[in-house]
Structure 1
Amino acid sequence: MRVGADSRKTTNRRFVILALSPALLFLAVLIGYPLVTVLTDAFQDAHLVNPGVGGFVGLDNFHKVVSDPHFFPAVSNTLVWTIGSVIGEFVVGLSAALLLNRKMRGQGLFRVATFIPWLVPIVVAGMTWEWMLNPDFGIINSLLTSTGLVDSPINFLGDKEWAMSTVIFVNVWRSFPYYTISFLAAMQAIPDELFEAAALDGANAWRRFWSVTMPQLRSVSLIIVFIHLIWTAVNFDFIWVMTQGGPNYATMTLPILIYRYSLQQFDVGAASALSTIMFLGTSLIFVVYYRYRRRLSDEIVG
């Protein structure tokens, strides 16, 4: 019996390996190889259009990146862009989920309308908002001036005082439905008995929200917040479509700086070094998420 059990276990293990081999090969080719190449090029004198340049340079690429006068402003902009976007998405997404969780006429229509921004491709959304915010013919400035809210059109994307907050606003507009979907699904899984018991204890709507709803949303909140911290930090296309890092580097983030190193200056070594720094930063975010996730799991089990 023991021999037969070992044989079946070996057969099952071989089948699992065989079934997973296409996915493992896919990950190795499309993720593993590029990652190893970037980590290797970070310590090499690599150039995109001059293949004759090469050789090990140690930490020179990292020193070049850190010494760049645009590096630390780009770090600051990346933090503002990431934290501002995630906080805005969380607040708006949670508020929309609370409204859509209420029973009302036309509930299905409102839910579909809320999810539309998430369905719009980033490039389309960015170009559309860029047109709407144009100071010369954009509908936003037209409405602001016609209603008397402002005396003259505002150059939302061309003024460094407005540019970062504007791209954050547009990013929140497009991304909050993802939070709404997640929160709404979690809310509908909360047993009605918990709310009824809280109401019998004299808890008002605000108290029921903080004592019943929010604790039930801790798990999903942890997941989507940390996922979006990484997604937003490495996001390139949204800012590039709208401002290309301008005006005057006001919206220059680390992904934009990587693009400039690699495809404008053709300095693959510096681009790889900065990519490695970002990889370490996002890995740290994942470590923090893992620790909080384990703590939350232990509290639930306990």
Structure 2
Amino acid sequence: MGTWRPRLIALDIDGTLIQWVEGQGQENETIAPAVKQAVHRALDGGAQVVLASGRSIDAMVPVLHLLDLHRDEHVWIVASNGGVVVRYPPVEVVHEERFDAADAVRAILEEHPTALVAVEEYGVGYRVSHEFPPGELSGTQIITDVEDLVAEPVNRVIIRDPAATPEDFVALGRRLGLHNTEYVIGWSAWMDLSPIGVSKASGLARVADALGVGADETLAIGDGRNDLEMLRWAHRGVAMGQAIDEVKREADDVTASVEEDGVAVELSRWFPAQP
């Protein structure tokens, strides 16, 4: 890569900055000291660091504080898999994409009638058809009829079926087609529905444009299916060591696992610690 060094660094959260354990939730999150130190070396080296996650805004802000990213100036957040682009502090929604999810939700529930449905409620938590398993959603869960959840355009819909597998949902998405809707499958039977063309990559492109940075100056690190577009978009897309094979195949490189401080390993290539 010669003298290339990233000016924009996009970091996924769960499984990248923070070890994600099903059922553990977001109550006791920590970021390894080596990772935080590497992120701050990148900041000191002139790079912009952006968190890009499937999480809601409210669930991302505590991670900004863990990393101490907001010390001197506003920082950018790509939330809800690209559906919402935010500056912080305070929370300023710069861009939001919404879509009519009603048909897609009905089609999914025909095959998974007991699946849980959630829609983000800014500053509160989520409106949900039924309560999600402990620790899976941040904030308050407000029980709401499904038809009311999707009566108006939304930025994202979460479908969760604790009785199913990720493979079940992958097959479901292929089978239904879900026209006019983007979808990504998580580590569990968790499906995020979003507007066509919306992904972490589309959100990052907006941030990069605002910062005057190009994709050719961007490093992205992630571990999940919802990171694929981001890894392809960035000049250098890096998969975490524990990522599924599908993500590793699409990445330009693979770093160490989250347990082995993979983000620090990758960032140290471009922003090494001083001896």
Q: When the two structures are superposed, what TM-score results if normalisation uses the length of structure 2? A: 0.26
Q: When the two structures are superposed, what TM-score results if normalisation uses the length of structure 1? A: 0.24
Larger strand proportion of the pair: 2
Structure ranking higher on relative contact order (CA contacts 8 Å, 6+ apart): 1
Larger helix proportion of the pair: 1
Larger Rg: 1
